[in-house]
Structure 1
Amino acid sequence: MDKRAKKRFSSSKSLRNQDRPLSPDLKENFDNLTLLTEGCSDIVFRQFNFGNVLCGFIVYIEGIVKSEHIQAHALRPCLRDLMGI
């Protein structure tokens, strides 16, 4: 394992071993979750952006949740609410 990989693994391991409340900063939460799930090939992150701002993201386990259901029952209703439709 190279030095960069060891540092990422060490950082990820230390995050797993502590309780961390959610941050009010969405990007910080996204970064923490991606670090914690690094190497988990069945974890899927979907971001939704408007303009240059990260407005939200959803995390799910591929194979347990169908992506079509995420689209139909989570993302589409959120977009409708945001757009006032």
Structure 2
Amino acid sequence: MIDRVAAGERTGIADDGRLTAAVSPADRERRVLADLVRDGTLGPENAATARGLADWAQPGGGTGRGTGLGSASEALLARREEGR
């Protein structure tokens, strides 16, 4: 069931024939925030107020993970060195 939900399917759980719960994929924004916190890109103290990061990408075409830019400060310095 977890694999199906992770693939985007929503499913219900019944107790004695009555729907008692629904299982659905996590909101994409929450998944992205959890990934950013897990890899250290975003501090947990900032995750509660962070919004709009589902489509976030670091400068240079990365996806925010494993791009070699460990912080916003490093990304800013890299952009300055590029003359932007």
Higher Rg of the two aligned structures: 2
TM-score, normalisation: structure 2: 0.29
Question: Which structure shows the bigger proportion of residues in helix conformation?
Answer: 1
Question: Which structure shows the bigger proportion of residues in strand conformation?
Answer: 1
TM-score, normalisation: structure 1: 0.29
